[in-house]
Amino acid sequence: MIRKYINSKFLFFVLSLCFSFSFIKQDEPKLRVIKTKLDYFTSDNLGNVFTVKDGELVKYLVNGKLFARYSNLKLGDITTIDAINPLKILLYYRDFQQIIFLDNQLTTNSEPISLETLGYEQTDLVCAGANNSFWIYNKQNNDLIRFNENSKKIASTGNLKQILKTDLKPNFMREHNGYLFLNSPETGIYVFDIFGTFSRIISLKNLKQFEINEDIIYFQKDSLYCSYNYKLFDELCKQLPNYSHILDVRYNNNKLYFGFKDSLLIQNLN
């Protein structure tokens, strides 16, 4: 625990140095600029970046080079992209209740999964899980359900409204190290094990999304970028420069990603 605490302190020391200068300097050797229009983006643990704009997914390699594009005109806009597994990328099209998996070449490697066909017509959220599984949050029954790679139901929480005695309004979820983190902005982050058993609630409110590394949650909060060690209950925040122009900030594998409408900046913290 002490080592993780020190790592968190060190990260924000480095962040303070980065933010002390103009982080949009293009002659900075540890800064990479990708000129691309985007609505939102994510990254994988290999350093690849995935941007989404008007239903098109674009993959950029760690060196910033455009690698591949993917779009499906029949399904329209991509609601969610989860690249936790770089070899099996999950795309969710909420308007059509369809899940598609892509390989690292952005090629479909299986037939689309219809959640309506599985009997879940009001699925708000979807994310990838370990061992090629995936999770859904079904609004109709207020439950989390985990499926294996063959789309067979293997775990369920049951009705969370009844179990937790609260009216959840989740907007984001992510699996990490055998736990599912479900974000409900008004109340916090609810944590479940892979069998759907409730574990704890993390009292971080009003979040849109977050990244998890070890025991630390990274998130943007208004004009701040923060880390929270949910085992040590330690939070550190740093003011973001040019906040009004930033769409999203992410931290992954010692890199900071700044998303703008027309560009993506990657700050290497090594």
Q: Which residues contact 126 (CB under 8 A, 6 or more apart)?
A: 80, 82, 90, 92, 99, 134, 135, 136, 137
Distance of CA 104 to the CA centre of its chain: 18
The structural domains of the chain, ordered by start, are 119-209 (2.40.10)
- Digit-coded pLDDT (tens) for 210-241: 999 989 999 998 889 999 999 999 999 998 87
Least confident piece of the model among 3-12, 31-40, 65-74, 236-245:
3-12
- Digit-coded pLDDT (tens) for 15-24: 554 544 333 3
- Digit-coded pLDDT (tens) for 100-116: 999 999 999 789 999 99
Closest C-alpha among 175, 170, 93 to residue 134 = 175
Report the mean per-residue pLDDT for the chain.
Answer: 89
Give the pTM.
Answer: 0.88
Q: Which residue's entry shows tokens 């029949």? A: 74
Does 194 score more than 70 pLDDT?
yes
Does 5 score more than 70 pLDDT?
no
What pLDDT shows up at residue 28?
Answer: 41
Does 260 score more than 60 pLDDT?
yes
Task: Find the radius of gyration of the CA atoms of the chain.
Answer: 18
Band of residue 243 on the pLDDT scale cut at 50, 70, 90: low
Band of residue 70 on the pLDDT scale cut at 50, 70, 90: very high
